[in-house]
């Protein structure tokens, strides 16, 4: 890959990070569940870009990269399950 490709990926990572900071700091009238789901989705985008470009998975043979993507999908499923559990605990403690 060319240096320009890495610079573009780095710029996208900075943009996604700024979007995360914007979501948390600016009051947008989002529900807590939507905010958590948005942050997890943005984290997934960053993790996928880092894995594909900086860990060079994009240049790996197709069977090996698909194996890595199954592992990444498992991590995402576990993240959503833990976020659902956290949201449930918060609603139990905050309900009157």
**Tell me: the pLDDT tens digits for 56-69?**
766 777 777 677 77
Instruction: Check residues 23 and 28 and name the one with the higher pLDDT.
Output: 23
4-8, 15-19, 72-76, 78-82: range with highest mean pLDDT: 15-19
Closest CA to 81 of 29, 35, 40, 20: 40
How far apart (Å, rounded) are the C-alpha atoms in residues 40 and 80?
A: 8
The 8-class DSSP code of residue 50 comes to: I
Give the chain's count of helices (H) and strands (E).
3, 0
Q: What is the pLDDT of residue 18?
A: 95
Does position 31 have pLDDT exceeding 90, yes or no? Answer: no
Q: Which of 42, 44, 5 is nearest to 22 (CA)?
A: 42
Euclidean distance between CA atoms 36 and 14, whole angstroms: 19
pLDDT at 1 over 60: yes
């Amino acid at each position: 890959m060319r240096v320009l490709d890495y610079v573009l990926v780095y710029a996208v990572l900075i943009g996604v990070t700024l979007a995360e900071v914007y979501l948390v700091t600016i009051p947008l009238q989002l529900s807590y569940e939507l905010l958590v789901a948005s942050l997890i989705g943005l984290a997934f985008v960053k993790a996928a870009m880092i894995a594909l470009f900086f860990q060079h998975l994009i240049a790996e043979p197709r069977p090996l990269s698909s194996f890595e993507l199954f592992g990444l999908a498992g991590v995402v499923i576990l993240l959503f399950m833990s976020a659902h559990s956290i949201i449930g605990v918060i609603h139990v403690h905050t309900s009157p």
